[in-house]
């Protein structure tokens, strides 16, 4: 039976089964298969280059022999796997460093629930870890001037963050919320805060508070400072908690509602804090001193109606520049607080001036002059400036 090209030749009975058959001389092998050039092979004879029936193609294994190098032949050199091992080790180190970097940047592992994220956020806030607090905020601030660890330390030193309690949480798709209660100092902040799911896990949607809309039409706003730094007219960002508002003028102080978790629940601005400027204790005394000095200065005049002063002598025959004004009792004066739209402090009251003067007809006269005195004090100057109306 003739062998097929793609099928092995059936083994022939042989006493030396599996032994290597003796090789034929190359010249005979070529002669046996070459045929006559230019002619077709005889019937039963293979095409040129084809083996005779029962013979093997060069390099084809004999029955019972595997493909590859003949038994006893040289083996290929073993591959050197050392470079691969080194490369794999370097890759592992790189992945480890990348993983560590991610953990540091994100403040730890991804937060799988809104509650986990809120807990981590408040714990970082309480610990004064500004970097982690920012990493747990989905929306990043426009500037970080007041978001430093130094300022956060001042916030928690004044009002420590304690008693963190997650009351409930929910999350649908990429949005969620957490009902949380926490104490800032002695003040309890109980709010439902919006959360957001990102590629880095759940985060607080707005972890910082944006304050803007500073009223630059009010001169007092230009003196506003936060933790000793001028605020100016730009938007600023702060962490929830105690805020040290003040004025660059020692005559004024600032009052405002606290900025706690309520500031994370929606739109919030400086107006939301009801920030107001008031006279400081030193400012109140400075205003009184300024009014006293201004009235005393006016009494130094000898005029019937001193320029820029509140008093005027009502005596038709008084001789000009013969008037001697005495210092009135100032206790009737009332001093208002500062206006929300001005740095001027208004004052008013009925004063009685002691007075003596000469007349053309009756000679020297002595008496009193009643005056309703009112005016304004500009507290942005030092000392404050008094203007009589």
Average pLDDT over residues 261-277: 87
Neighbours of 184 (CB within 10 A): 24
Tell me the C-alpha to C-alpha distance, in Å, between residue 55 and each of 59, 62, 91, 115.
Answer: 12, 9, 54, 80
pLDDT at 109: 63
Tell me the C-alpha to C-alpha distance, in Å, between residue 104 and each of 9, 74, 100, 184.
Answer: 69, 56, 6, 27
pLDDT at 108: 53
CB 299 within 8 A of CB 353: yes
Would you say the C-alpha torsion 138, 141, 146, 147 has a positive or negative sign?
Answer: positive
Which of 94-103, 171-180, 192-201, 363-372 has the least mean pLDDT? Answer: 94-103
Asked if the model's pLDDT at residue 378 lies above 60, the reply is yes
Asked if the model's pLDDT at residue 184 lies above 90, the reply is yes
Per residue in 315-372, pLDDT tens?
A: 999 999 999 999 999 999 999 988 777 889 999 999 999 999 999 999 999 999 999 9
Per residue in 289-319, pLDDT tens?
A: 999 999 999 999 999 999 999 999 999 999 9
Do strands 137-139 and 324-325 pair parallel, antiparallel, or not at all (unpaired)? unpaired
Average pLDDT over residues 72-98: 50
Asked if the model's pLDDT at residue 37 lies above 60, the reply is no
Task: For residue 29, give every residue at least 6 positions away whose Cβ sits within 8 Å of its Cβ, in sequence order, or none.
Answer: none
pLDDT at 288: 97
Looking at the chain, the whole-number percentage of residues with pLDDT higher than 70 is 71
Asked if the model's pLDDT at residue 29 lies above 80, the reply is no
Asked if the model's pLDDT at residue 68 lies above 50, the reply is no
More confident residue, 269 or 349: 349
pLDDT at 324: 98
Average pLDDT over residues 174-199: 96
Which residues partner with 196 through β-bridges? 175, 203
Task: For residue 382, give every residue at least 6 positions away whose Cβ sits within 8 Å of its Cβ, in sequence order, or none.
Answer: 249, 250, 251, 286
pLDDT at 219: 84
Cα angle value 305/308/313 (rounded, 5°)? 20
- The tokens for 15 are 């006493």
Output phi, psi for 124, to 5 deg.
-65, -40
Assessment of whether the complete model's pTM goes beyond 0.75? no
Asked if the model's pLDDT at residue 110 lies above 80, the reply is no
More confident residue, 254 or 68: 254
pLDDT at 104: 39
Per residue in 237-261, pLDDT tens?
A: 999 999 999 999 999 999 999 999 9
3-state SS, residue 341: coil
Average pLDDT over residues 164-184: 94
Residue 107: left if φ>0, alpha if ψ -120 to 50, beta else—which one? left
Average pLDDT over the chain reads 80
Model confidence band, residue 216 (pLDDT cutoffs 50, 70, 90): low
Asked if the model's pLDDT at residue 28 lies above 50, the reply is no
Model confidence band, residue 262 (pLDDT cutoffs 50, 70, 90): very high
Looking at the chain, the whole-number percentage of residues with pLDDT higher than 90 is 60
More confident residue, 266 or 283: 283
pLDDT at 42: 47
Asked if the model's pLDDT at residue 99 lies above 80, the reply is no
Identify which of 202, 212, 209 has the alpha carbon closest to the alpha carbon of residue 138: 202
All structural domains of the chain, each given as residue ranges with its CATH number in brackets, are 105-205 (3.10.450.50), 211-279 (no CATH), 298-388 (no CATH)
Identify which of 173, 199, 190, 197 has the alpha carbon closest to the alpha carbon of residue 117: 197
- The tokens for 104 are 């540091």
Which residues partner with 363 through β-bridges? 359
Per residue in 41-58, pLDDT tens?
A: 444 455 555 545 444 444
Determine the Cα–Cα distance for residues 258 and 253; give it in Å rounded to an integer: 16
More confident residue, 4 or 314: 314
Element (H, E) at 348: strand 344-359
More confident residue, 111 or 43: 111
The DSSP string of 204-271 is EEE-SEEE----TTSGGGGGEEETTEE-TTS-EEE-SB---EEESSTTEEEE---BSGGGGSS---GG
């Amino acid at each position: 039976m003739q062998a097929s090209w793609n099928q092995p030749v059936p083994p022939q009975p042989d006493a030396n089964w599996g032994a290597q058959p003796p090789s034929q001389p190359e010249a005979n092998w070529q002669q046996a298969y070459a045929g006559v050039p230019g002619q077709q092979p005889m019937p039963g004879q293979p095409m040129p280059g084809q083996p005779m029936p029962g013979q093997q193609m060069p390099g084809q294994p004999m029955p019972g022999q595997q493909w590859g190098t003949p038994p006893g032949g040289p083996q290929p050199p073993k591959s050197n796997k050392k470079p691969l091992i080194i490369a794999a080790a370097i890759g592992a180190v790189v992945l480890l460093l990348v993983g560590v970097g991610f953990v540091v940047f994100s403040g730890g592992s991804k937060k799988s629930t809104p509650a986990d994220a809120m807990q981590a956020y408040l714990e970082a806030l309480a610990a004064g870890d500004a970097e982690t607090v920012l990493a747990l905020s989905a929306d990043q601030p426009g500037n970080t001037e007041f978001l430093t660890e130094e300022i956060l330390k001042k916030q928690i030193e004044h009002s420590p963050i304690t008693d963190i309690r997650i009351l409930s949480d929910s999350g649908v798709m990429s949005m969620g919320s957490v009902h949380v209660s926490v104490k800032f100092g002695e003040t309890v902040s109980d709010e439902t805060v919006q959360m957001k799911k990102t590629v880095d896990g759940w985060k607080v949607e707005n972890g910082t508070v944006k304050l803007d809309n500073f009223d630059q039409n009010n001169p007092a706003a230009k003196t506003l400072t936060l933790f000793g730094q001028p605020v100016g007219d730009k938007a600023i960002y702060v962490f929830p908690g105690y805020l040290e508002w003040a004025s660059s003028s020692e005559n004024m102080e600032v009052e405002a509602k606290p900025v706690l978790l309520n500031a994370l629940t929606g739109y919030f601005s400086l107006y939301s804090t009801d920030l107001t400027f008031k006279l400081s204790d030193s400012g109140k005394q400075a205003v009184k001193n300024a009014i006293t000095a201004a009235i005393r200065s006016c009494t130094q005049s000898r005029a019937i109606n001193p320029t820029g002063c509140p008093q005027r002598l009502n005596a038709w025959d008084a001789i000009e520049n013969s008037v001697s004004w005495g210092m009135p009792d100032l206790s009737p004066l009332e001093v208002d607080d500062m206006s929300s739209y001005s740095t001027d402090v208004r004052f008013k009251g009925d004063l009685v001036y002691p007075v003596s003067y000469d007349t053309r007809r009756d000679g020297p006269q002595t008496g009193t002059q009643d005056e309703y005195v009112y005016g304004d004090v500009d507290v942005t100057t030092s000392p404050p400036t008094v203007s009589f109306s």
